[in-house]
C-alpha cells in the first residue's frame, strides 16, 4: 500500500452523532484540523440536522438521511470553494449536529408580581408559573443567532432567555385580557394560546418554536386569598344562628374535647343560675318566694309600606322614610300604598298611621303670595 493510500485511509470516513444526554441541543463533530475526506458518509438520524460551517460561514444544512459528501449534494460549499465536478481532495469544514426533537418540561414563572386591573377588585398583584415545550425549527438560524462557535450547547443555556420573553408577553396579555381574576382559572387554556401566539415571533427570530405552552397556576397574594376565603365562608354559612346550632350539635355528636368543653360550659352556666336563685334574699311577704324578674317584651316590629309609582311598586319604606318623601312632595295623600296584610292598594290619606304625616307638614302656600 502506497503512502498516498495510507494517508487517505487516515481521513474520516463516517460522520454521525449519537446523543444520550437528553438536553444537548447542538454538538460539534470534533476532528483535528476539521479535515474531512471527500466522499465520506454522513449519517443524520431522525430528530437531527447537520449544519456545515466553512470559514465561519454557514453553508449546507442536511436533514435526516444518509449522504455521500460530494459536490452534487453540497451546492453551497461547492460554490464557496469554486469546486468543479472533478474535485477529489479532502476539505476542511466544521460540522454541527443540531437536535430538532422536542425539549419538554421547560419551566417558566414570574419572578416578581404582575400588576393587573380587575373589574371587581381593582388593581391586583398576580403570580403565575407553568411549563412549555421548545424545539429547533430553523437549524441554520439557531446556529447563527444563538450557538455561534459553542462546541456543545444545552437547553439550559437558552431557557433563561426564553423565560424572560414569556414573562414579558404574559404580563402584556394578562393586562389587556380583561378577564376577571376569579375567572382566570377557568380560562388558562385560552390564556396559554394567547401567550404562545404573542411569543411566537420573538422565539422564531432565534430559530426556535414553542409547540406547547401551559399555564399551571395563577395566584393572588396571600392576604387577598385569605379575604376571599372569608368571603366564601360567609356565603356558605348563610344564617349564622342556624350555623352555630349545627356546630354545637355536631361537636356533641363527635364526643371529642370540643363537645366536652361545650357541655362543661352549659353545665357551668346551669349551676351558676341555680346557685344564684338559692342565694337570692327571701323578699316576698310572709316568707314567700320573691317575684320572678320582669323580662321586657320584644320591641315592636316596624310596619312598612310599598308605594305605587308610575306603574311600579317601590319599597318597602318605613314611616320615617315616608315622612321625608312628604317633605319633598314625592309622597301625597293620593299616593297608593300597600302593607302586608292590607286588602289591596289604598290612598295614603285613608290610612290612619300615614294620614298623620300630612297634618304635621305645612300646606303649600297659596298662589300669588
What cell numbers appear for 214 in the block?
A: 401551559
Q: Is residue 22 part of a domain?
A: yes
Residues 75 and 136 grouped into a single domain = no
Choice among 94-103, 138-147, 304-313 with the minimum mean pLDDT: 304-313
Strand-pair category, 122-136 with 208-219:
antiparallel
Q: Are residues 115 and 12 in the same domain?
A: no
> Does residue 176 belong to any structural domain of this protein?
yes
- Residue 119 phi, psi (nearest 5): -65, -20
Instruction: Specify the pLDDT at position 205.
Output: 92
Cα separation, 358 vs 332, whole angstroms: 8
Instruction: State whether 115 and 206 are in the same domain.
Output: yes
Q: Which of 36-45, 70-79, 307-316, 360-369 bottoms out in mean pLDDT, i.e. has the lowest?
A: 360-369
Using omega within 30 degrees of 0 as the cis cutoff, is the peptide bond preceding 316 cis?
Answer: yes
pTM: 0.55
Instruction: Tell me the pLDDT tens digit for each residue of 154-176.
Output: 888 888 889 999 998 888 888 77
Residues 327-350: what's their mean pLDDT? 85
With a pLDDT cut of 90, the percent of the chain lying above it is 18
pLDDT band at 80 (very low <50, low <70, confident <90, very high): low
Among the ranges given (90-104, 140-154, 219-233), the one the predictor scored with the smallest mean pLDDT: 219-233
Rounded to an integer, what distance in angstroms lies between the CA atom of residue 188 and that of residue 185?
6
> What value does the mean pLDDT take over residues 9-17?
68
Yes or no: say if 331 and 294 are a contact pair by the CB < 8 Å rule.
Answer: no
* Separation between Cα atoms, residue 216 and residue 218, nearest integer Å: 7
Confidence class of residue 342 from pLDDT cuts 50, 70 and 90? confident
CATH code where residue 319 lies: 3.30.1490
Over range 267-288, report the average pLDDT: 51
Asked if pLDDT for residue 27 goes beyond 50, the answer is: yes
Q: With 0-12 CB in 10 A as exposed, 13-18 as middle and 19+ as buried, what is 48?
A: buried
Q: What's the pLDDT at 368?
A: 61
Q: Please tell me whether residues 129 and 86 are part of one structural domain.
A: no
| β-strand pairing of 94-99 with 24-29 | antiparallel
**Residue 297 belongs to a domain:** no
Give the residue among 80, 71, 13 at the shortest CA–CA distance from 42: 13
Domain boundary among 69, 99, 129: 99
> Do residues 68 and 120 both lie within one domain?
no
Range of the domain at 154: 103-224
Residue 250 scores a pLDDT above 90: no
Lowest mean pLDDT among 6-10, 106-110, 247-251: 6-10
> What does the alpha-carbon distance between residue 137 and residue 142 come to, in Å, rounded to a whole number?
8
Q: Is the pLDDT higher at 13 or at 342?
A: 342
- Mean pLDDT value across residues 271-282: 52
Which of left, alpha, beta for 363 (phi over 0: left; psi -120 to 50: alpha)? Answer: beta
Instruction: Evaluate whether 210 touches 133 at the Cβ level (below 8 Å).
Output: yes
In a domain, 33, yes or no: yes
pLDDT, position 71 = 67
Residue 187 lies in a domain: yes
Q: Looking at residue 32, what is its pLDDT?
A: 67
Which of 152-166, 194-208, 249-263, 290-304 has the least mean pLDDT?
Answer: 249-263
Q: How many domains does the chain have?
A: 3
Burial 82-99 (b: 16+ CB within 10 A, else e): ebeeeeeebbebbbbbbb
Cell of 225: 386569598
202 vs 232, residue with greater confidence: 202
Identify whether 367 is part of a domain.
no
Contact 215, 191 (CB under 8 A): yes
- At 4 the pLDDT is 42
Per-residue model confidence (pLDDT) at position 11: 47
Helix (H) or strand (E) holding 203: helix 188-204
Residue 219 sits at the vertex; the CA angle it makes with 236 and 228, to the nearest 5 degrees, is 25
pLDDT at position 345 is 87
Residue 267 lies in a domain: no
- Domain termination site, one of 99, 126, 150: 99
* Residue 244 maps to a domain: no
Per-residue confidence at 361, pLDDT binned at 50, 70, 90?
Answer: low
Task: Compute the half-sphere exposure of residue 130: CA atoms within 13 Å on the CB side of its CA.
Answer: 23
Is 27 in the same domain as 62?
A: yes
- Indicate the pLDDT class of residue 136, thresholds 50, 70 and 90: very high
**Does 285 score more than 70 pLDDT?**
no
Amino acid at each position: 500500500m502506497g503512502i498516498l493510500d495510507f494517508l487517505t485511509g487516515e481521513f474520516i470516513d463516517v460522520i454521525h452523532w449519537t446523543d444520550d444526554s437528553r438536553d444537548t441541543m447542538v454538538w460539534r463533530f470534533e476532528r483535528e484540523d476539521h479535515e474531512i475526506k471527500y466522499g465520506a458518509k454522513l449519517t443524520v438520524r431522525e430528530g437531527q440536522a447537520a449544519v456545515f460551517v466553512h470559514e465561519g460561514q454557514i453553508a449546507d444544512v442536511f436533514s435526516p438521511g444518509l449522504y455521500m459528501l460530494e459536490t452534487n449534494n453540497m451546492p453551497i460549499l461547492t460554490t464557496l470553494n469554486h469546486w468543479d465536478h472533478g474535485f477529489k481532495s479532502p476539505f476542511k469544514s466544521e460540522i454541527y449536529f443540531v437536535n430538532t426533537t422536542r425539549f419538554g418540561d421547560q419551566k417558566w414563572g414570574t419572578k416578581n408580581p404582575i400588576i393587573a386591573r380587575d373589574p371587581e377588585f381593582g388593581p391586583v398583584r398576580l403570580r403565575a408559573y407553568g411549563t412549555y415545550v421548545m424545539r429547533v425549527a430553523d437549524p441554520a438560524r439557531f446556529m447563527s443567532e444563538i450557538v455561534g462557535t459553542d462546541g456543545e450547547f444545552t437547553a439550559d443555556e437558552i431557557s433563561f432567555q426564553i423565560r424572560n420573553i414569556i414573562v414579558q408577553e404574559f404580563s402584556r396579555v394578562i393586562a389587556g385580557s380583561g378577564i376577571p381574576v376569579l375567572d382566570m382559572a377557568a380560562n388558562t387554556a385560552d390564556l396559554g394560546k394567547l401567550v404562545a401566539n404573542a411569543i411566537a415571533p420573538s422565539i422564531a427570530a432565534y430559530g426556535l418554536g414553542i409547540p406547547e405552552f401551559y399555564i399551571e397556576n395563577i395566584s393572588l397574594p396571600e392576604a387577598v386569598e385569605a379575604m376571599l376565603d372569608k368571603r366564601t365562608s360567609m356565603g356558605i354559612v348563610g344564617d349564622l344562628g342556624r350555623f352555630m346550632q349545627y356546630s354545637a350539635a355536631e361537636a356533641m355528636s363527635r364526643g371529642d374535647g370540643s363537645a366536652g368543653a361545650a357541655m362543661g360550659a352549659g353545665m357551668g352556666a346551669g349551676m351558676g343560675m341555680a346557685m344564684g336563685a338559692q342565694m337570692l334574699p327571701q323578699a316576698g311577704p310572709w316568707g314567700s318566694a320573691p317575684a320572678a324578674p320582669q323580662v321586657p317584651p320584644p320591641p315592636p316590629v316596624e310596619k312598612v309600606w310599598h308605594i305605587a309609582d308610575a306603574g311600579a311598586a317601590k319599597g318597602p319604606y318605613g314611616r320615617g322614610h315616608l315622612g321625608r318623601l312628604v317633605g319633598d312632595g314625592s309622597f301625597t295623600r293620593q299616593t297608593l300604598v300597600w302593607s302586608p296584610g292590607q286588602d289591596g292598594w289604598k290612598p295614603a290619606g285613608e290610612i290612619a298611621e300615614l294620614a298623620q304625616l300630612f297634618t304635621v307638614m305645612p300646606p303649600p302656600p297659596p298662589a300669588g303670595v
